[in-house]
């Protein structure tokens, strides 16, 4: 559940804001911090060859690199309404924002997607507000969030932390949605590296019938996500609903030849959201903020990936 991440995220965030790690305005510019990876990783190496500790450090460093660069590029001082997503990468997004200092952030208001990002915003001393308080005729200037997987067209799978409905609400309320991730999340097709399945938020009473529909559509062993080890039974979202994880064969991109048993991203998303009992799906697809002027877009206008070699790769719409 999304809320289950907030204690761990807060401890990580507090660690990086401790005096030992705190950014100083007189030091190296914040977007250059950790410009080199902790581990000197080369293209000839495989992350599987690293120890668990080394691999974890490399991944966290790559997340931080991407977050700091994305904030540098897309958080303009004139912005006043900013969306903050959920997940481990967002810890570093908030860290990068806080590093700008009150002279920049005091005029900004930050809108979380769940309990984790709410606590991160408060711990950083940033101005907190909720998306239901944003007037209907207003839009967020920008929203930052992570992803479980990103394909070649910047379609996303999100919902690994069970916050997908709130994340989609905040993303579509923004003029610009910027995705921040590490190198493991970049795939040519959705469902290639993220094999746990597309997260689907569902009404509990409808879950058995939804499972049957998913199987009929070709989903490979869809399952209700368990709450274990912290909770017996199904995981419960911040909305009081359940999550079904529905694996499918890797999803086709636009223009690719159709193959038996494969769905195109837009086609599958349209079919899933029409199943009675499904509240929201973890496919972020369709238009981006450049195509849907004034909000309503699910896809990011840019995706930042911290790479294993210490660089940041940017994919733009």
**What residues act catalytically?**
167
Q: Quick check: 121 and 105 in contact, CB under 8 A?
A: no
Residue 185 burial (CB count, 10 A): 24
How does strand 109-112 pair with strand 81-84?
A: parallel
Could you give the residue ranges of the DSSP H alpha helices within the chain? 6-16, 52-74, 88-99, 102-105, 115-123, 164-172, 207-216, 265-273
Residue 77 burial (CB count, 10 A) = 10
CB-based contacts of 51: which residues, under 8 Å, 6+ apart?
none
Q: Residue 194's closest CA among 150, 243, 236, 259? A: 150
As a whole number of angstroms, the distance between CA 210 and CA 267 comes to 17
């Amino acid at each position: 559940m999304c809320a289950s991440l907030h204690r761990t995220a807060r401890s990580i965030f507090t660690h990086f804001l401790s005096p030992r790690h705190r950014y100083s305005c007189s030091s190296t510019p914040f977007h250059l911090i950790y410009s080199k990876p902790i581990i000197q990783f080369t293209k000839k190496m495989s992350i599987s060859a690293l120890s668990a500790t080394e691999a974890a450090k490399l991944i966290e460093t790559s997340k931080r690199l991407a977050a700091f660069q994305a904030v540098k590029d897309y958080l303009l001082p004139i912005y006043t309404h900013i969306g903050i997503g959920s997940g481990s990468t967002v810890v570093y997004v908030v860290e990068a924002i806080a590093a700008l200092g009150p002279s920049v952030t005091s005029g900004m208001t930050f809108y979380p997607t769940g309990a984790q990002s709410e606590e991160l915003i408060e711990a950083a001393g940033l101005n907190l507000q909720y998306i239901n308080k944003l007037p209907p005729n207003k839009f967020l200037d920008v929203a930052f969030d992570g992803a479980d997987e990103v394909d070649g067209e910047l379609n996303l799978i999100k919902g690994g932390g069970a916050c997908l409905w709130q994340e989609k609400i905040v993303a579509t309320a923004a003029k610009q949605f910027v995705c921040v991730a590490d190198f493991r999340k970049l795939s040519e097709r959705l469902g290639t590296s993220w094999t746990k399945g597309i997260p689907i938020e569902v009404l509990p009473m409808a879950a058995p019938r939804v499972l049957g529909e998913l199987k009929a559509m070709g989903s490979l062993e869809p399952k209700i996500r368990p709450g274990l080890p912290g909770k017996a039974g199904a995981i419960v979202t911040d909305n009081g609903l359940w999550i079904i994880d529905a694996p499918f064969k890797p999803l086709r991109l636009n223009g690719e030849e159709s193959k038996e048993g494969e769905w195109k991203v837009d086609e599958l998303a349209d079919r899933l959201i029409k199943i009675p009992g499904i509240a929201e799906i973890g496919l972020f697809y369709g238009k981006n903020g450049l195509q849907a002027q004034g909000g309503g877009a699910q896809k990011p206008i840019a995706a930042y990936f911290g790479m294993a070699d210490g660089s940041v790769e940017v994919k733009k719409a």
